[in-house]
Amino acid sequence: MKFDKGIHPVSFHPDSDPIRDRESLKLLDSAADCKPCHKSVYENWSRSRHKVAHTNEIYRSSFSQEPMQWCENCHSPLRSSLDQTLFKSEEGISCNVCHVREGKILSSEGPKPSQKSYHEYIVIDSFGTGELCASCHQFNFPTWGSLADRDSPIEYSNLNMQGTADEWRHSGFANESNCIDCHLAPATKNTHSFRGGHSIPELRKSLEVEAEYVGPRTIAVRVVSIGIGHSYPTGDLFRALRLKVYSESGKFREEFTLRKLYRNATKEEKKRSSPPRVLEADTRIPPPSENKSTAQKEFFLDVPDRPRKLKLELWIDYLNDVEKIFSHLKRTETLKKISSEWIQIKGRENFTERDAG
């Protein structure tokens, strides 16, 4: 496959690498060329984030602030071996990116003997596993030295930047399913839809909120992940889940943020082999533990008024604080509401007014 966590682009010859129609010999070099025989796959992919990996506004805004070839090696991995231009970058992570090389189809298995074969195949055992996904969803920060010298090749530091594959490996899901099962959804009507952190209806089904008295004037508010086989949020280091708490009167009370929080490295910390940032906190929901399909993150709220209910809202935020300053995007494009509901607080009866003093 030659994916190497974005260190290099994938060299793709525009004439010899794409597959051809066996009868007309026409190059099938666009995802649209696959549609006649793979209609549902094409239509699902065309609505996915993989389709707009290189063209979506959030990526374009971030890339305009830090325009590095290293980013493009995952967001549009194919580069023409003739003139070194991006190959069909408007298609993002397309059929060609994952499935096509040397005029053949890459797959975890070829057609059965009883099936008519329209293509030639290259069978790769790891193709049906999360190993392929980890090529772009599991990597560390580049070293300070390789970022400072744009002419030097990218080298990775010891600080994780995206760790979705490792999170899954350490979860209770690792022995039961992998990235492919949930995000590719093979053998279903949603195959190749690549649902994820931008799929608000899916997030609504996968995240719940709870509130419970754990003391006379203290409430534990929890965000629970359901069926998510890794930390949440995961992936992009800018991504944050925001839990907003409102009082019974509807007044804003407090906000809790679930994210990886980094700061820029100081001058003294900037060694050639060190990362450009330092991890200060990780307040995300952890991966589910063994034999569990759920996990949770808990925060504590002081409530002198001892309310009976609260309104809890979940929002997914796709930009970090620095990007918000420089980005031209509207907040309605980068901050999306997942849910908003009134929660009856459990356990209030366990603590009396006398307990509260």
At residue 219, does pLDDT exceed 80? yes
What is the CATH code of the structural domain delimited by 200-356? 2.60.40.1930
Q: Which residues contact 311 (CB under 8 A, 6 or more apart)?
A: 245, 246, 247, 250, 340, 341, 342, 343
Identify the residue whose tokens are 């949603």.
190
Q: Give the pLDDT confidence score for residue 3 in this predicted structure.
A: 79
| Residue 206: C-alpha distances to residues 45, 201, 271 (Å) | 22, 9, 41
Q: Which residue is it, tokens 């949020």?
A: 233
CA distance between the termini of the chain:
66
- When the pLDDT of each residue in the chain is averaged and rounded to a whole number, the result is 93
pLDDT of residue 165: 95
Q: Mind listing the pLDDT tens digit for each residue in 44-72?
A: 999 999 999 999 999 999 999 888 889 99
> If we measure between CA atoms, which residue out of 182, 184, 204, 203 comes closest to residue 192?
184
Give the type of residue at 179.
C
Kindly report the pTM of this predicted structure: 0.93
Contacts for 293 with CB less than 8 Å, ≥ 6 apart = 172, 173, 226, 227
Please answer whether residues 245 and 301 qualify as being in contact, where contact means their C-beta atoms are separated by less than 8 angstroms.
yes
- Residues 100 and 122: their CA atoms lie apart, in Å, by 9
Mean pLDDT of 331-347: 96
Q: Domain limits of the chain? A: 10-184, 200-356
